[in-house]
Each structure stands twice: as structure tokens, then as C-alpha cells.
Amino acid sequence: MIPPIKISLAKFFLLLLTSSLWSCRLHTGGEAKVTSPAIDATSTALAPVSEKALRMSYIGNMGVLFESDTSTLLIDGLHEFYRPTYAFPDPATVAQLIEGNYLGFSSLEAVLFTHPHRDHFSATYSRDFLQQNPSGMLLGPPQVVEEVKAATAEELGVGLQAVGYDGGVAHFLQAQISIKGVRCEHVNPNRHSAIQNIAYLIDLAGHSILHIGDTNWEQVSPAFEALGLPEKKVDVAVLPYWMLLSDDSAQLIKQWIAPRQLVATHLPPDYRVADQEALRKRFPGVVPLVEIGERFDYHGQ
């Protein structure tokens, strides 16, 4: 059950004024509450639903923003328009994220990128984040780090770090965020063999998050084994939606990950409602992210 929420009458009316809320309950071991609020760059952050809740917001394509206990992390969320088939955040949303004004979330402590494709990563936005957040951390494969360095002649500091691409697991610690990253081949290697893609397993204030970028079942087993899956507990798994479409996807997800909450991303902006419902039917409780700004809270068992 979702823990009872204690809130003052004043805060209740503030929520009504600042958000237009719709919600649905999803059951995959824990509970997630999905909402779609208005975004206002001038608004102050809302209080967390629960100190133990993991709050998430969809930023575009595979971009997801996470926060728990005031620790805040963004994965694949700073990117620009690439093609119409890929959702992307507008400049105002990016500015809110970089400046720490994104409604309902505190300032970013870490920004992660899985790979350098333009529907996941912007070197310019990455440079801006590091310049405006000197204590922040930005991680990605070597290709990402080199592009960020090339975007400015200035020294960007120790916050910019590369996840090695030799197959070994890299470990990073930022505030209450523990991050493991490892090489995970990009989907369609015949076409994208030169692209470096990283799978991340993150502990954010006690919540474990798996985000694997653009990959597929034929490529993931070395990375999963290196990260200690399936033995490691996974609270939230963020997967590209095509990994949910194969005939054996349900079996593979159970075998390798068994997440308490499954999140489907990389969905085209015009992904049909009928197709979303088909995903929900195959995976009861899955959250397919389509509308930028929609957010949900995961409450563990």
C-alpha cells in the first residue's frame, strides 16, 4: 500500500494550483502513482511525497529524472531535437533542469549518458550543466566525454568523468548516489558497432535503478553478468520499448532483472494508445513514458 500522506491544508491548495493531476495505480511488487503536472520555471520545488519514495519524471525519449531523499539524478535527459520520431525536452525544460528549478525536484547532483546519439545527449547542454554546477558529476562513455570537452575551451573540472569501455565495471559515488557503469553493446551492432553504450546500475538513497540505453537482448548478457544480475535487486528498470516486444521478452525480463517496477522508454511521440494498452496487458503495471513532463512515484515494498 502507498504510505499515508500527511499534508497541511495550505500545501494541499498549493498542489491544486500548481499541478493538474491524473493518476493510476500500478502493481509490480511496489506501487507507482503516475501524474502529469504543469511545469513552471518560477515555481519552487514541491515537498517529496515520502522520504522513502522514488520520484521520477519523463524528460524525453529515454530521459528520466529521479529523486529520493533530496538526491537527484538525470539519465539521458539533456538532448535537443534530432528527428520527429524522438521526443525531446524544450529549451525551457532543459534550463529548469540545469538551473535546479524543475518543479518538484531539487538541483541535479549527477547527470549520466548512456551513449552519444543525439536523441540521448547534447554536448552543449552537458557543458552548460558543468559550468553552472561546479560540484555536479557528469558521466558517460569516452565518446561522450570527448564531445563535451570539445564543446568548450574552458576547463570543466573533475565532475566530468568517463565510464571505461573495456568491459570492467566502473564505480562512482556522488552524495547518496552510488553508480556502477559497464560496457553494453548498442542495438543493431552491424550498423552501430562504433557507438559506445553504457548500462548503469544505480543506488539512489536505497532505491536500485537499472538504465541500459539503446541495446537489445542479444547484446545485454555480458553487461548484466558484470553488474551482478539477476542476483542484484532491481527496483526500477528503464528499458527501450522494443525489449518488451519479442515473444520471449517476459521470460527474459523475469530471468535477468525481475524489477519491481518496469518502465518502457524510447517510445515515439505518436505511439498509439492501443499499443500502450497492449504493453500494459503483456506487462501489468508497466509505465510506458510518452508525454514529456509526466511523473510518477515508486514506493517500494
- DSSP-derived secondary structure for 157-178: -TTEEEPP-SSSPEEEEETTEE
Whether residue 62 is predicted with pLDDT greater than 80 in this model: the reply is yes
Residue found under cell 540545469:
98
Whether residue 11 is predicted with pLDDT greater than 90 in this model: the reply is no
Taking Cα atoms as reference points, which of 34, 35, 67, 33 lies closest to residue 52?
67
Non-local CB neighbours of 253 within 8 Å, separated by 6+ positions: 237, 239, 243, 244, 259, 262, 283
Confidence (pLDDT) at 192: 84
Q: How far apart are CA 20 and CA 253, in angstroms?
A: 34
pLDDT: which is higher, 23 or 174: 174
Average pLDDT over residues 31-40: 40
Confidence (pLDDT) at 101: 95
CB neighbourhood size of 107 (10 A): 17
Q: Per-residue pLDDT tens for 157-196?
A: 889 999 999 999 999 999 889 999 999 999 987 888 899 9
CA dihedral over 116, 120, 124, 127, signed as positive or negative: negative
Q: How confident is the model at residue 32 (pLDDT cuts 50, 70, 90)?
A: low
Confidence (pLDDT) at 51: 53
- Delineate the domains of the chain, giving CATH numbers in brackets: 44-299 (3.60.15.10)
CA dihedral over 278, 279, 283, 284, signed as positive or negative: negative
Q: How far apart are CA 97 and CA 67, in angstroms?
A: 12
The mean pLDDT of the chain is: 85
Non-local CB neighbours of 256 within 8 Å, separated by 6+ positions: 220, 221, 224, 229, 230
Residue found under cell 557528469:
138
Non-local CB neighbours of 103 within 8 Å, separated by 6+ positions: 18, 37, 38, 39, 40, 43, 45, 46, 96
Confidence (pLDDT) at 281: 93
Non-local CB neighbours of 60 within 8 Å, separated by 6+ positions: 77, 79, 86, 87, 88, 89, 292
Whether residue 219 is predicted with pLDDT greater than 70 in this model: the reply is yes
Q: Per-residue pLDDT tens for 92-141?
A: 999 999 999 999 999 999 999 999 999 999 999 999 999 999 999 999 99
Helix (H) or strand (E) holding 255: helix 249-256
Confidence (pLDDT) at 301: 58
How far are the Cα atoms of 31, 159, 208 from residue 104, in angstroms, in the given order?
Answer: 19, 25, 21
Non-local CB neighbours of 131 within 8 Å, separated by 6+ positions: 152, 154, 156
- Which amino acid would we find at residue 94? V
Q: Per-residue pLDDT tens for 222-263?
A: 999 999 999 999 999 999 999 999 999 999 999 999 999 999
Non-local CB neighbours of 209 within 8 Å, separated by 6+ positions: 54, 66, 73, 200, 201, 202, 203, 234, 235, 236, 237, 238
Q: How confident is the model at residue 143 (pLDDT cuts 50, 70, 90)?
A: very high
